[in-house]
Structures are given as C-alpha cells and as structure tokens.
Structure 1
Amino acid sequence: MDEYTVNELFKVKTSPNAHKIFKILDDRKNDYRHSFKKYTKSVQDYIVKNRQPDHERKTRIDVWKLLRKTIEPFFGEGSYLAMGGSTLTNLATKGADLDLCFAIRCEDGSYTEEGVNNFVLSKIHRILEQKPFITGLRHICARVPIVTVELAFPYMDVKVDINCNCVAGIFNTHLLAHLSRLDNRFVQMNMILKKWAKVNHVVDPSVNNFVLSKIHRILEQKPFITGLRHICARVPIVTVELAFPYMDVKVDINCNCVAGIFNTHLLSHLSRRKFNSYTVSLMIIHFLQCGVYPPILPNLFKLFPKHFDGTGNVEDLDYAMELDLPRWVGRGMGDLWGRSGVEKMETFFGEWGIKNSLDVREFKEFVRRKKTFCPTLICSSFLPGREIPKNERTIGELIYGFFDYYTRFNYDEWGISIKDGKIFDRNILPDTEREYMFFIEEAYDGMTVPKNLKRQSNLMEIVGEFKQARLSILKDICENYPPPIDETEDYRDEFEEENNNKILKRNNNEINNLADNW
C-alpha cells in the first residue's frame, strides 16, 4: 500500500522531512541494541512510577460527582459541571489537579464567557462556602477567572479549579481522551515531554511557579503572616493572610502583578518565550500523525466529524464510545487496555474456545457473538488485502524523533493544522496571525496556541533546547560517542543566517584579495 493511500486512510498528510528523522538511528540500531533497550526501559520505568494511580483517579471522579450534585440544582436545566484535564485524558501524573468547567448556555444558545463567567463563579462561591465539606475557597478574577476549592477528609489532597464556559478545553479533553486510547505511546510521550519541558523552562508555568514558590518560602518565615497558600492554577498565585492590624486585607500575588518585589519587566520577558502544556500535547499529536511514517494516530476530526467538531453540548460528549475505526488500524489498539491487541485477542479467543489461527469467517462470527468486542481490535492481519505497514517505533525512538522533527521544522513558512492533519503554508494566514513565531492551530477556535511567542530570539531558545535534547539522547543511546548529525536542514534564524553569510562573504573577499596581492 503506497504512502498516498495510507495517508488517505488515516486522513493525514506526511510532512516533507518525516522520512529523514530516524535514519541516523536505523543505521546504528544493531551496533547499540543494548543501549536502545536500556534507554527505552528507563522511559517506561518513569511512566510506571509517575502516572496517576487508579485510586487517585477514582477519588477525583468522586469529588466531581459531589460538586455536580451540590452546584447544578441551583442553576437548573441547561447547566452542567463538566470534568476536563488530565484525569479524563489518561495523561495525568501523580497528584494532578482536578479541572472542572461549569458550562451554562446563554439565551442565544452559546457558551459565552465574557460578562457571564465572573457572575456565575461568584454564585458558585456563595453556594460552596455554606457546605461543611469545603475547607478552602477562593474566587480568582484573572484573565481566565476560576474558583479554587479545597475539601475536607477524605479529599484533602485534591486541588480543584472551576472555570465557567471555557468549553474549548472540554472538547479538547474529549479529543485527547480518545487519542490516548488508540496508542499508549501517545500517553507516554505526553508524560515524558511535559516533564522535560518544565525542567528545561520550555513550558511557561514553570517560571511563574518557581518564582512564586520562592516568595512562599520567604513569607512563611515571617511572624506577621497567618495564612499562606501557593495555588498552581492557570494563573498561579500566592494568597496571603496577615496578622493584626491587617486581618481584613486579602492579598493575591501573581507573576505579573508584583511591582516592588521583583522586576516585572524581566518576568514578562521570560513568560513571552514559553509554550504551555497544551501546546506540547498538540505538537505530539501532529508528530504522531504527520512526522512519522506510517502514521501512528489517525485524524479523528476527519474520520468522525459529528463526534469531534466541537459544536455539540458538552454534557453529551461520550468518552466511553467505541470508535468504529477502519480495520486497517492494527498496532496499538490494544493499548486501550494497557497491553497489545494480540494479547487481548488471545484472552477473548481462550474465553470463547477459538484458536488463534482464525480464518476470516470464523473471526467475523466471533465478533458477532461477542457484541461488546471493540471494533478497533480487528487487526489487519486477519483481513487479507487490507494490510498496511505498521509503525513499530519504540517510545525511545519516538522521543528522539520528536526533538529532531521540531529542530528541523520550518517555523517561518509552515503552520500546523490539527483539524486537517497536515502542515500548511503560513502565507495564507491573515496578517494578524503572522506575528506569532509558531502557528499550531487550536483545534476548536482556529487560532495558534502559543500566543505569547512573538520574538524570534525566544523561538530560537526553544529550538536550541530541542537541539540539545536530540544530542543528549544520541549520547545515551550511542554510549557517549554520538555520530555526527547533519544539521544543514536544522531551523535557523534568518537574521543570524544572513549575518553568517555576510561574514563568510567578507572572509572570502579578504582571502581573494590576499591571493591577488600574492
């Protein structure tokens, strides 16, 4: 099956530089087989140790149900407290917060935010402050207003953020939840790369939270401070309560409103060069659709538009539905259960007394009898004539590939469309969108996600981090003797490249002059 046909089935388009990414690894795989396995195992061990345990997920679902039961009756029909974030997407790590969105339709049927969210959140605050199971409550009127909630035993460890009508986040959660079930490598890459991005200051909140953590440590030693809390919300803050005579003064400190404590201009400069964690998730989706061949993830927008177009009611989103994916999608579907599809099939076969060596008719009869069997497990190996090459890249190879892909990515000329599953020419964008250094489409509003990234120098810093990570992985795999990397196609700052060309031209002229004189 040729590349065009495969891409049509997945509803994606492979990027021009996708076929070059893994060549340097493939050429040396046999020489460093042990190192490859060791690196992949270290990644998998990190996932096992840090992913959200089942009991934490259950606790967060219980909290969501409790708050739904408490809040929704005060608003009546048309309102719904939706769960979002990593708890539903299967991308959560230990101790993850619980993100909730209170969705309430306006008279025109839309989920309007402006002029509605603060009013609704104020009412939610008044409702919850009367409840005995609530121990802490805060209405934060930030760019994205939220109510933060702390609960009594047995939910003390659950931090809750409630926003109003930010429904794009719920539709995104729905999309990520289904993608995470299609291939476990998507989950693994999210956990690893988000951690890497925070450690290397590529994701924005790490800067804010680092500074606020330091402020928290400074203030907690002071005798005039009676209460102190660091809230790691969308807009991280430190809330401060003071002793007499300032008991009635409530103080919120965030990274952009702390004049007199530290230099806000410096902080805003740092903030402008960052991604957020959702940007990283979208970059992973694009890479697994268009940056590798064969593709690993299909384009659910194109395959199932009625489920993922973002126009329905948030309360009607079905997270448990079995997507009737084409039967050519084989590898990774079993990761929905945390093990390979073949192993899961063997379990079912054993239960039904069917041997593994099935013919097509016997397999279809098995599926007909086993009504609850997930269609996505129908592997191409059982369907003659529909086989496609399966992408068997390990998680270690894919993480290397991610860094290499975005080191070579042409940010000046290319934009990424998640909805269309492809890259496109940035020249078609309106002038208002061209100021952003990196255009990666937010699937439900069509705008770029890293809106703060407007300086070329800041983009170059991030690309530099990708480049360094690529080299570090090669060193790990190749036992500190990495092969030379062809950097001729790496992304470069046009201004820097122009200067380098001028210097080279000047040097050549000087050499020519010396030769003429000689």
Structure 2
Amino acid sequence: MFKKNKISKTQVNKSVNLPISNIPVCSNESKMINHRNCVPDGTPLSVASFQPNAKPFITSSSFIPTSSTLSCSLYMENLSVKIWELYSSTRQSPLKYEKKVRLLNALHMVVSGVFENAGLYIVGSSINGFGSNQSDMDMCLLVTSRDLHQKSEATFILSRLLQSLRKCRFLYHFTLIRAKVPIIKFCDRYTGIDCDLNVNNVNGLYNTYLLAMYAKIDWRVRPLGIFIKHWAQCLDIHDAQRGRLSTYCLLLMLIHYLQTACIPPILPNLQEKFPNLFNYTMEPYELDMNIELPWNELQSNNSNSLAELFTGFIYYYTNQFDFNKWAITIRHKTPLMKHIAMKHLPPYEQGYIVRNCKIFIEEPFSQTNAARSVHSDNIVSYIKQAFIKTNEILSDQYPLESIMNIRNN
C-alpha cells in the first residue's frame, strides 16, 4: 500500500549545495534520514504551488444563479482569491528555506562542540508546509534517547549551550525563556532569521511529521492554514505567550474541522488509518518526511472552495462546537468530551488542567492540552467574540478588510 524510503547517511555539510528538495531537516549525520520537505510530486512542500486542475477560487455551485445567489457567488469567489493570493505571496520561498538549512548546518557545528552526538532538527512551520517568509526557525536539539525533565535538565543543557552560542559572531539577541518547554531565542545576524531552540521536546518532532503529511493530502489545507493564522493575528487571538492560541493550535482546529465537520470529510484520520506510521513508539530518526502514502486514495470528493471552507470553519466554531463541553481532537472521528480527554493527562497535570482548562485542544501524540496557555476567562471570551464577529461579517457579505489587513481587489 505504501513505500518507505530507506535510511541514508547524506553528508550534512555538503547538503547545502544540493537542490532544495534534497536538503535534510536533521543535522546529525549518523542518524539522519534523507528527509525531503515535499509534496507527492517532489516539489518542496513549504513552497509548492500544488494546485488542482481547476482554479482554486471557483465555487462548487452548479445551479442557475439568481441575483442574490450571484452576489453570494461573487463574494465567495473574491474571498477565495484573497485567501489564495495571501498564501501565494507569503508562503516560504525556496531561498528562505535554503538559508534556514545553511544556518542549521552552521549551528550544528557549534552544538557538536558541546554535545558530540547530538542531533539538531528543524521543526514546526519551517518544515511542515505552513511556513511563511516571516516564520521563525524552530529547532529541536536531541541529546539523549530518554525523556528529560524540561524545567531542570533541559534548562541546564540550554544554559550550557548558550555559553557557546554567545561566542558566535553571526548570532545575537539571546534570551533563555524558562517555560514549561524552555527555549533559547536568538537571531542570525546575516539573514535576520529568528530562532527558537528547545532540548528533547520530541513531541514537536512527531507533530511536525504528522502535520506535514496532512498538508500533502489536499491542496486547500496549506492556504487555509496560513490564512487562518493571519486572520487570528489581525484579531489579536494569536500568541501563546500572551495566553492566546498558538499557530499549532489553530492548525489542529483546522484539521479537526476538515476531518469531522465537512461533508464529505476533506482529511482522513492518519493515526487511525496508518497506526504503524503515526505512533509515539517510533524513534525520532525513523520519522521519514518522504513517506509514500497512497495519496490518490486519500483524496476527498469534497469540492468546496477556499472561501466556503473558511466560512464553514468560522461557522463551526461559532455555532456548533461547544468549547465548554468538548475537546478538539484529530485522533478521533468526532470531538471528545472534555472530561474524557482530561483522563489521558499525567496525574501531575490533571489538577491544574481541571482548574484552568478553558479550551482543550488535544495533542495528537502525547494527548496533553496544546491550548494550556489559554487559561483566562476574558481571553476565551475574546477568542469567541472574534469568531462571532467574523461569522457576522461573512453572513452579511461585508468585506473582511474591515477586520483584516488583506488586499482589496
């Protein structure tokens, strides 16, 4: 049914001269798989123009339009154009991606001087298909195969690494953030790329792998993901450090909607369909971004336009999904009752989550709450109002420019 590429040991420092589709996402030569950030046709996933045969902004209506339906059709078509144009103009370019990989290789030389056998991986939007030219480069440093206590051991490792990074003339603006998953934030002086580096946050590797596969299945997923992130930024509900939704949470919300609320569903449940390929027991170096799934079999018959799907996404979380009762999940065909989702949490988290859980978005592998930063009733109300306001604008066919910074054609 599917084929899996064999593990290779490509020379990392020589990889910068290869075509973009051959650039790896891991800098550890001894463990590296020949990852390729690409869609099934071999185009780099983060920059691919993977389009359907028909224009992406044409709606699926097949009836003879009246004046009112024609107005609606034109409104939706115009919105689809805006979604596609935003995606086309902001998605991560091949040049930006190559710069990130060159920086990764340079950083690995520094890291290997401190932790000889460590692997350095690009994770997140830079590699999962939802990146833009403004995206930071998130990285995961793997120094051991065992779990680390993030607040003590990981912080100690980052503090030690920070001493070496400060000596690099091409890096500046260092900050060690002692969060639940501590990170070092810094910037590359020559490219201007902002970097976030964590230690042994293996969950991020699995999540990157899973989201990249969902992004490959249907051409509409990536434009919607990037547009929804931009929408959330414009309405000030995007920023986990300020108790709002992260990009990752928004993408899980989108995938959940495309799996469960669309008729027919646009995305399958990959963890259910291919349990051997998407599970938490695989070693990080076994995650193969080139895995060949039966892409044609995974295609949906749903022909809704980008505008119809964005409108449906907003409507679903405004009118149908009860945040107080349900947990958002992409592991199941339907939403989970929130109290059932909480049972999967480790004991040390259950008390905190029960007291502070306002929105529960289940991590697909660890099954913890990806939206744990959203713990204020005021912020939750603010998020809900953003959906309500947008739903009203879409229902009345008012231009989204009234709440979003998007080009008006």
Structure-1-length-normalised TM-score:
0.58
Larger radius of gyration between Structure 1 and Structure 2: 1
**Alpha carbons 1:56, 1:95 under 8 Å: kept:** no
Q: Describe the SS at the equivalent of 1:301.
A: helix
Letter in 1 for 2:194: K
Q: Describe the SS at the equivalent of 1:58.
A: helix
**Alpha carbons 1:80, 1:315 under 8 Å: kept:** no
Which residue in the other structure is 2:265 paired with? 295
The verdict on how the C-alpha distance between 1:202 and 1:289 changes in structure 2, with shifts beyond 3 A counting, is same
2:154 alignment partner, one of 117, 142, 155 = 117
Deviation per CA, 1:118-144: give whole Å up to 9, x if none: 221123223333444445544444443
Which residue in the other structure is 1:65 paired with? 105
Which residue in the other structure is 1:328 paired with? 297
2:327 alignment partner, one of 408, 415, 430 = 415
1:315 alignment partner, one of 285, 302, 309 = 285
Matches within 5 A, 1:249-268: none
**Residue 438, structure 1, aligned to residue 354, structure 2:** no
**Alpha carbons 1:53, 1:94 under 8 Å: kept:** yes
Deviation per CA, 1:24-83: give whole Å up to 9, x if none: x99964553222222211221111111122211111111112212331353233x21111
Q: Describe the SS at the equivalent of 2:160.
A: helix
Q: Which segment drifts farther, 415-424 or 466-475?
A: 415-424
- Residues of 2 paired with 1:403 and 1:177: CA distance? 23
Q: Describe the SS at the equivalent of 2:397.
A: helix
Which residue in the other structure is 1:172 paired with? 207
Superposition RMSD on alpha carbons, in Å? 2.9
* Percent identical: 23
**Alpha carbons 2:218, 2:299 under 8 Å: kept:** no
- Residues of 1 paired with 2:78 and 2:383: CA distance? 27
Deviation per CA, 1:214-248: give whole Å up to 9, x if none: xxxxxxxxxxxxxxxxxxxxx5xxxxxxxxxxxxx
- Residues of 1 paired with 2:113 and 2:277: CA distance? 28
Deviation per CA, 1:272-307: give whole Å up to 9, x if none: 5x2222211110010000010111111111122222
- Residues of 1 paired with 2:398 and 2:167: CA distance? 57
Deviation at 1:87, TM superposition (A): 0.8
Deviation per CA, 1:392-435: give whole Å up to 9, x if none: 11111111101100012122332222222321233434474444
- Residues of 2 paired with 1:160 and 1:126: CA distance? 16
Letter in 2 for 1:173: T
**Alpha carbons 2:270, 2:278 under 8 Å: kept:** yes
1:475 alignment partner, one of 376, 386, 396 = 396
The verdict on how the C-alpha distance between 1:45 and 1:76 changes in structure 2, with shifts beyond 3 A counting, is same
- Residues of 1 paired with 2:382 and 2:221: CA distance? 25
Which residue in the other structure is 1:496 paired with? none
Letter in 2 for 1:330: Q
Q: What residue ranges of structure 1 are gaps of 5+ in the alignment?
A: 1-21, 206-234, 236-270, 332-389, 480-518
The verdict on how the C-alpha distance between 1:392 and 1:111 changes in structure 2, with shifts beyond 3 A counting, is farther
Which residue in the other structure is 2:142 paired with? 103
**Residue 36, structure 1, aligned to residue 76, structure 2:** yes
Deviation per CA, 1:487-516: give whole Å up to 9, x if none: xxxxxxxxxxxxxxxxxxxxxxxxxxxxxx
Q: Which segment drifts farther, 454-463 or 311-320?
A: 454-463
Which residue in the other structure is 1:15 paired with? none
- Residues of 1 paired with 2:373 and 2:213: CA distance? 29
- Residues of 2 paired with 1:32 and 1:131: CA distance? 56
**Alpha carbons 2:210, 2:278 under 8 Å: kept:** yes
Letter in 2 for 1:394: S
2:188 alignment partner, one of 123, 137, 151 = 151
